[in-house]
Amino acid sequence: MSEPWRRTLQYACANHRIISAINRDQQVNWLHLDLVLKQIPSVQLGAELDQALVAFNRLLKYKSVKQVTLGYFRMLEVRQDGDLSEARIHILLSTLKSYFQGRYYLKCDTWLSLWRKAMDREADNRVTVEVSSIHGKSDKCHSIDTMRRGLQQMQQSRQEREASKADERPGGRRWIGYGKLLKQYLNLPKSGDELDLGSYDLDDLVANRAFEIMLAWYPGIRKGAGR
């Protein structure tokens, strides 16, 4: 198992616990938001990533965003193809329960306008947004099977790392971030072995769906189209 894929599984499991704990305690909605920069020349990648993370923080401070968002998890992914790259800030975003009702709702075009404003690139078509709600309409049996296979891979990876006495080296802070409500739930009391399927709230279909969404994410630089 590659290190980025192991970390993807690790964060997907941790965030399942966090989301289900928040859903038990509070009434919230959840969004899956991707902030995207396309066609970045390799020589400009470092500067573009720095600007994107500054812009991400700026975006969250805009009044229309700040008044509806309660917390977030973000993972930065870079897809390289030859001399060009595409950067994606993947975000799990918790919002007010009333987000989809009335004046608080932000359409995709509004998210795009705000993201381009934060990047100071209002007319740049290479700056794009993808947004969707994370709902409880997923197939529970499929989600459980996906989680079971993921936890089995985590168990195998742990055994291999213990056998080889591999060092745990956390990735750069640039790739991963928690904010506000989700950050408050980072240190949850342990309800059992993190690799035991029974220690997860599998009746929380939103958490199940978020887990599945996260499996497509990749923390760091992905070369080419494969994982």
pLDDT averaged over consecutive 10-residue blocks of the chain (227 residues)? 84 95 96 98 94 97 97 96 95 96 92 98 96 85 87 80 48 80 87 81 94 93 66
Q: State which amino acid sits at residue 221.
A: I
* Cα–Cα dist 218/78, whole Å: 8
* Cα–Cα dist 82/85, whole Å: 8
Predicted local distance difference test score (pLDDT) of residue 173: 55
Please check whether residue 42 is in contact with residue 78, taking contact to mean a CB–CB distance below 8 angstroms. Answer: no
Q: Is the pTM of this model over 0.85?
A: yes
Please check whether residue 93 is in contact with residue 206, taking contact to mean a CB–CB distance below 8 angstroms. Answer: no
Predicted local distance difference test score (pLDDT) of residue 227: 38
Q: Please, what is the angle between helix 45-61 and helix 108-119, to 10°?
A: 120
Predicted local distance difference test score (pLDDT) of residue 219: 92
Predicted local distance difference test score (pLDDT) of residue 60: 98
Task: Give the contacts of 125 (CB within 8 A, at least 6 positions apart).
Answer: none
pLDDT tens for residues 46-62? Answer: 999 999 999 999 999 99
Q: Which of 86, 216, 20 is CA-nearest to residue 226?
A: 216
Predicted local distance difference test score (pLDDT) of residue 166: 42
Predicted local distance difference test score (pLDDT) of residue 101: 87
